[in-house]
A = this chain, B = another copy of it.
Amino acid sequence: MPTPHYGQPRYRAIADKLREQIESGAIPPGALLPAESLLTADFRAARGTIRKAIAVLREEGFATTEHGRGTYASPQTKNPPNETDARQRVMPADARLAALFRVEVGTTLIEQEKVIRQGEQVKAVVRTYHVDDTGQ
C-alpha cells in the first residue's frame, strides 16, 4: 500500500509515538533510540519515513543524532515550542529599497526573514527582499 496520507502523515504519527516514549521515560534521557533499521521493522515504514520522524524530534529538541553512533534521547525539554524560525510578509518599499529595485515608493515587496540560531542564541537575522511577481 504505497502512500495515502489521510489526516496525519505517517512520519508524524511515528514521531508522536517516539516522543511519547521519551517523555514517559520509556527511553531515558541520554539513552539511544533503536536504530533506524529496527524502527523500520517496528513501524513497518521505509527508512526515509523513519528518518523524517526522527528529524521532527530533533527539531523539537527531543533527540540528537550522531553519525555512526545513533540517536540519543535528549534530557529535559522545557523548550518553548517553536519561536518562529522563518516568516514571510509583504511590506511597502521604503525609499532605499524602492531606489534599489527601481520601483515606486510604496510598491509591495516580499520580505523573508530567517533567524539563525546556534543553540539557544540567535546568531543572526537575515532579511531578503524581492519584488512581488505574483500579480503578473
Residues of A within 8 A of B (CB): 4, 6-7, 37, 55, 97, 100-102, 115, 122-130, 133-134, 136
Contact = CB atoms under 8 A, between A and B. Distances in A.
A6 B134 contact: yes
Contacts of A101: 122, 125
A48 to B, nearest CB: 9
Contacts of A123: 130
A35 B46 CA distance: 19
Nearest to A83: B100
A107 to B, nearest CB: 12
Contacts of A102: 122
A18 to B, nearest CB: 15
Given A134-B4, A134-B6, A136-B7, A127 B124 contact: no
A47 to B, nearest CB: 10
A130 B118 CA distance: 13
